[in-house]
Amino acid sequence: MNTLNEAQQKAVETIDGPVLIVAGAGSGKTRVITQRILHLIKTGVAPTNILAITFTNKAAKEMRERVRSLLSSDKSLNLPVSMNERPFISTFHALGVHIIKENARLLSLTRHFTIFDRGDSRRAIKDAMLQCSVDPKKFDPGVILNMISRSKGDGINRLAYFDHANGYTEEITAQIWEKYEIILAKEKALDFDDLLLKTAELLEKYPPVLEHYSEVWKYMHVDEYQDTNKIQYRIVKLLAEKNKNLCVVGDADQNIYSWRGATIENILNFEKDFPNATVITLEKNYRSTKNILAAANNVIEKNTLRKKKTLFTDNDKGEKISLTASYTENDEARSIADTSRSLISSGISPREIAVLYRTNFQSRVLEESFIKKNIPYQLVGVRFFERKEIKDILSYIRAALNRESWSDIGRIINVPTRGIGKATIAKIMAGQSSELPQNMKQKLANFWKLLDDIKKEIAENKPSETVKFVIRETGIEKSMDDGDTENEERVLNMHELVTVALQYDTMGSEDGIESLLSNAALATDQDDLQKNEDAVKLMTVHAAKGLEFDHVFITGMEQDLFPFKHMDASPVSKSEEEEERRLFYVALTRARKKVYLSHTILRTVFGSQRINNPSEFIDDIEKDLIDDRAQEKPSGAKAIFIDF
């Protein structure tokens, strides 16, 4: 407590009633939450009566580890050696999984229900479209899925959507949604959005369920509150209704996810929603230099949808922000790679360098330049659990636990090849197995026996041993023993899954496997960063949220790219303008020591070159904070003809 500043101490010690902690970037919010949890326990609150919710597995893991360290190192607690009670710290979706599993029968589910990932949901939507005689070539299944997903995030279930469907597209979506739900129910499955929607419905429709969790979790904490959507808000409101001991931590200036349903009003209206709330503002930044914070304050103060605050720091003034103008995106990428190589040569670790961009298409030329310069890099966004070989192994485990998960069975019944084709699978799903030839019946019997063996392994052995068993007994690893370099990498990925499973071994056999499957389904882009590869990180600004680096490049600082303007030339609303500015603010505040801004005169977008103006955000920053480099020469001879 002696190391906390005055505002942080107040946030830690104010434990009763609703509390809003407005935490600026780099202000030590995770430290405040973990110290607050420790303080609650030291005042006599049982660890099991404390709930803390955040948004990513990475953030939840870090918080759990910090709390564990604080509890084990604080001698004044005088805890018994056997003490194993801990606060419940998880993501929103993991909380949903926990509540649904404990009440699965109320939803006509089994404890081992399947969680559909995006790919599973898209395939099911496509099947539902075909059942509704809707051509997937005319209606994109991904667009239909997004419409359903957004509705669920807004707390709207299928029946409510059907009642208010307006126009042909919404009416078709309602029909597809009905078939989609039938597919989910048949497979005893929920999709990603159901984990929240069904949780809210359980708490609302079954008073004993709400009463139980209200008694269990008497003190609640919600991190990144500005990123909550309507259904998450409903869950928080329900769980906090009885005890009112709700502490939310967030920053309206870092609300950058409206496109996936996050509502800035949740944090702006907190005092209205929870009367007599205590509001504490954390403005002291422990991350960035004075120059970086001055630039960030310059940018964000133009927004009106915010709770006013001004970040300050005791850190050094630091270097000015570099600004580089390049002719093309190739020249920009070359310049960034050259600067990165110079930084690494000077002794800076590659992992302390990040290159941020507004949209994913910008990564291609950056990757090419880093490859040419032989600079180690990691492209954030290629998820470990999305790799085919990893999904195959997990599908074997899910199918062994849930024989009604036809999406998993369909995925692995012929992996590796067993001579079981789509026509056979269709007959099995239609209940026509008796009509199959005898040799096919034997193949199927062998497959079902394999699933039985895997289920037995799950019950008797640790998760890591189960994963090894699946890799070995299914024949997946053997099928890839052909000397192909890509297959070698796939085998290494499977071995890495064994390493991942090791951390679940202490939880027991079935509980450990359940947690592994849940966390795999809920994994985000940032989770792969846990390996802490010593490589420069390339990622979108959205993916960088919550991370920090010594040196940060922010690329593509051009009008209509950052701030982004939609290709359909539709007018940009005031709220969209402010969110783009918040996004740039987030990008700036990822840096500890140095920020590099860059833009191009020409950029090729969708196959055609366009002439760019520098981003208006550059003009928001005071000139004495910027080191404006001379315009770089193009890397190769080129002629540019502009027809006026």
Of 479, 510, 503, which is closest to residue 388 (Cα–Cα)? 479
Q: What integer pLDDT is reported at residue 20 of this predicted model? A: 97
Cβ-Cβ contacts under 8 Å for 540 (sequence gap 6 or more): 356, 357, 358, 359, 360, 381
The rounded average pLDDT for each run of 10 residues, N- to C-terminus, in the chain (644 residues) is 88 95 94 95 93 90 91 72 76 95 93 88 92 87 91 92 89 94 93 95 96 96 94 96 95 90 92 94 96 96 91 95 94 96 96 93 88 90 75 93 87 87 79 84 90 93 92 89 70 81 85 86 62 84 93 96 76 88 97 96 77 94 84 50 44
Q: What integer pLDDT is reported at residue 71 of this predicted model? A: 87
Three-class secondary structure of residue 3 per DSSP: coil
Assess contact for 226 and 254: CB atoms under 8 A: yes
Pull the structure tokens for residue 131.
């059942």
Place of tokens 């906390």: 4
**Strand-pair partners of 114:** 189
Pull the structure tokens for residue 434.
């008796």
Q: How many CA atoms lie within 13 A of 199 on its CB side?
A: 28
Which of 191, 193, 224, 558 is the catalytic position?
224
Which of 232, 254, 378, 524 is the catalytic position?
254
Cβ-Cβ contacts under 8 Å for 640 (sequence gap 6 or more): 602
Which of 581, 590, 593, 594 is the catalytic position?
590
Which of 29, 462, 581, 582 is the catalytic position?
29
Which of 191, 193, 201, 223 is the catalytic position?
223
- DSSP characters for 137-172? TTS-HHHHHHHHHHHHHTT--HHHHHHT--SHHHHH
Assess contact for 534 and 415: CB atoms under 8 A: no
Q: What integer pLDDT is reported at residue 527 of this predicted model? A: 58
How crowded is residue 223: how many other Cβ atoms within 10 Å of its Cβ? 25
Residues 123-161, buried b or exposed e (16+ Cβ, 10 A)?
bbbbbbbeebebeeeebebeebbebbbebbbbbbbbeeb
Concerning whether 590 is annotated as a catalytic residue, the answer is yes
Pull the structure tokens for residue 129.
């479209």
What is the longest distance spanned by two Cα atoms in the chain? 82
Which of 30, 110, 175, 278 is the catalytic position?
30
**Strand-pair partners of 605:** 608
How crowded is residue 644: how many other Cβ atoms within 10 Å of its Cβ? 2
Q: What integer pLDDT is reported at residue 641 of this predicted model? A: 44
Task: Please tell me the pTM assigned to this model.
Answer: 0.81
Burial of 196 (0-12, 13-18, 19+ CB in 10 A): buried
Concerning whether 110 is annotated as a catalytic residue, the answer is no
Concerning whether 223 is annotated as a catalytic residue, the answer is yes
Q: What integer pLDDT is reported at residue 640 of this predicted model? A: 47
